[in-house]
Chain A
Amino acid sequence: MVIIVGVLYVLHQDFWFWRAAHSLVFGFLPVGLFYHACYTIATAVVMLLIVKHAWPTELEEQVGDEASGRAGEAPGHPLSASPLRPVARNKEDVEH
């Protein structure tokens, strides 16, 4: 996936169509613009592959079952309050 994304990034720099003003697709669309329209669609396809094959499911597992919603509604409070949660800090805890 990293390689595919890298290739996609390189393909964005299409210097080969840089000065191609006279090549038109469908008789009115400049080839440079057509290329980037196709590129954008290709990006959506790559994103679909990433979502299907590289989705970080472990993050959802870490958050736990409760986070996935209760009867269609998210929990109103954090699952496990961080001991260092800033809002709970006292003045004397701060640095300097």
Chain B
Amino acid sequence: MIPALVVFAYLGVVLYIGIFAFRKSRHREEAEDYFLANRSLGPYVFLFSLFGTNMTAFAILGSSGHAFNNGIVTFGLMASSSALIIPLSLFLIGTRVWALGKKYGFITPVQMFRDRWECSHIGTVIFVVQAALLIPYIIIGVMGGGTALGAISGGRVPYWFGGALVAMVVMSYVFFGGMRGTAWVNTFQTILFLCFGAIALIVIGIGMGGFQQSTEGLLGSPGTASLLSRERISPLFFFSYTFIPLSSIAFPHITIFCLTARKMNQFKKTVVLYPVCMLALWMPCVFLGVMANRATDVPKIQEKIEARRALATAGPTLSADERESLRQKTNGDDVLLLLLERYAPLWLAGLLGAGIMAAVMASDSQILALSTMFTEDVFAFYGGKKRFGEAAQVHTGRLFIVLITIFAYAVALRAPQNIFDLAVQYAFSGYSALSPLLVAALFWKRSTKWGALASTVWCALSVAAVAVFQYVVPAPAGPPVAMWSIDGVEVLTRTPGGTAVFGLMPVVPMTIVSALLLIVVSSLTSRPGDHTLKRYFQP
């Protein structure tokens, strides 16, 4: 119970930071102050908060779980590719969004799109698609809170209570503190989970008797030696994963966050240090995830390894239900928690548990972004602000935060998690496919609202199509199954982990087609007026 008490204390600190931010605010009734912290964040708060916003529960729990089953490939697949693409997109797109926001007072990306392409309802369509892709994230955050608190307390804190507690704490500091509170909490959380990686690596390494022995043990077995290479993932899949980090800048909470910097210079530290933060967090998590395969003295990890072995040897002969049951047992998202429980002293396990909770609670920015988008892109745009005033707009934003939290909690109690895991998985692809919108708005004069609409509708339809395909066609137990081939070339394949199009992840065709549609449709329709273009593109 000691680890759970440490986590409760941590939640108390987080709540206090949010309320402290509320007290520090001097313009509580102004939308720009509540939703953007008055565009006043300093360089380190900007760096840590943006990094923390990008790192969800997946960064700690999911990365080690993925590495547990797939090996060291996880780092190259998700961390080093993000270390290149995300800072680059902040440099190219984030700085320009910041400058336009400062110049014209934008608070959301849809406001910029509406102004840039001289449109209104098309902006509403973009808002709807962005919001639909963001909601699963918020639900999964509540689920993660319930699951993590249950695991840290050794099952003493029930799922419903853990989820409710985490949802209440997140809702409270977002409600009171707005962007300022969220940014400060994220900064505190990021420092905590960056320390977590190094401490966990040392403690577990000592507990396991050193990593050299564990690595040699993994190499000694044919079943685990491949975890130290990347042969479990195809090079094409590895390549296509580099499209996923494009989603980061297109996520509304990240685009909105770019508007909070006090000066453009504050992007500099973030652009340079982002890869270093990625290394500090992901390297220990991935390495420990792989090493967990040698933690033979942890019964629950042993059960996972045996389930994986059974799936590999007898998979094709098992029924679909049996395969699904085994697949769930192989899920390694809790291996890091199990390693901590086995090798860390209780008080340290509590502190490290708080580090994990910090990552799990990353849904705060998404909740705030959704509230910002609703109040700015719908409430204010359709006359609410004009009719009821700016204070009413901020109150509406706060009310929306309460409603979305209650909704997320109610859904999290009833729905199975794997549905939302899938939704989140395709939210990344969807946002990657929406990234051409930002590029076109900022860099291509000839882009039009109709091109933007075509691209947005394509994103929504393609995400839905892939989700339906995966729901209708069950995952194969053995090698991938070709569902559609032309002259022996596999066009559409159902793989054990998802879908492949010409051997690539769906995100690749989704993003390329999205960009092509934007180009073709824009070329066929009339561009915005010269007055608008002059304001965006200096001669």
Contacts and interface: CB of A to CB of B under 8 A. Distances in A.
B228 interface: yes
A35 B345 CA distance: 33
A90 B225 CA distance: 66
Given A74-B262, A95-B120, A30 B72 contact: yes
A44 B275 contact: yes
B124 to A, nearest CB: 10
Given A47-B272, A86-B115, A95-B120, A40 B380 contact: no
B41 to A, nearest CB: 9
B230 A86 contact: no
Interface string B184-216: 000000000000000000000000001110110
B275 A89 contact: no
Interface string A1-44: 00001001100111101111110100111101100110111011
A96 B121 contact: yes
A9 B262 contact: no
Contact of A40 (B80, B110, B263): B80
A50 to B, nearest CB: 6
A60 B104 contact: no
A9 B84 contact: yes
Interface residues of A, number: 62
Contacts of B444: none
Given A79-B103, A91-B383, A21 B225 contact: yes
Of A17, A18, A44, A76, which is in contact with the most chain B CB atoms at under 10 Å from its CB? A44
A87 B273 contact: no
A96 to B, nearest CB: 6
Contacts of B40: 69, 73-74
B248 to A, nearest CB: 15
A9 B243 CA distance: 12
Given A47-B87, A48-B272, A21 B229 contact: yes
Of B226, B275, B287, which is in contact with the most chain A CB atoms at under 10 Å from its CB? B275
A9 B99 contact: no
A7 to B, nearest CB: 11
Nearest to B229: A21
Given A12-B76, A21-B229, A62-B99, A82 B105 contact: yes
Of A20, A30, A32, which is in contact with the most chain B CB atoms at under 10 Å from its CB? A30
Contact of A78 (B76, B104, B283): B104
A36 B80 contact: yes
A87 B75 contact: no
B283 A37 contact: yes
Contacts of B73: 32
B381 A80 contact: no
A12 B27 CA distance: 47
B102 A89 contact: no
Nearest to B120: A94
B532 interface: yes
Contact of B72 (A22, A33, A67): A33
Contacts of A9: 84, 242
Contacts of A15: 235
A41 B95 CA distance: 23
A93 B381 CA distance: 12
18 contacts: A17-B230, A21-B219, A27-B212, A32-B73, A36-B75, A44-B83, A44-B274, A51-B91, A59-B99, A68-B263, A73-B262, A74-B40, A76-B27, A84-B114, A85-B104, A86-B110, A86-B111, A86-B123
Given A12-B81, A47-B274, A86-B114, 20 more contacts: A18-B231, A21-B227, A21-B228, A27-B215, A28-B212, A32-B228, A33-B283, A37-B75, A37-B279, A40-B276, A41-B275, A47-B271, A59-B95, A74-B39, A74-B262, A76-B27, A81-B104, A83-B531, A86-B110, A87-B385
Interface of B: 27, 30, 32-33, 38-40, 72-73, 75-76, 79-81, 83-84, 87-88, 91, 95-96, 98-99, 102-105, 110-111, 114-115, 118-123, 210-212, 214-215, 219, 225-231, 235, 238-239, 242, 262-265, 268, 271-276, 278-279, 283, 286-287, 376-377, 380-381, 383, 385, 531-532, 535, 538
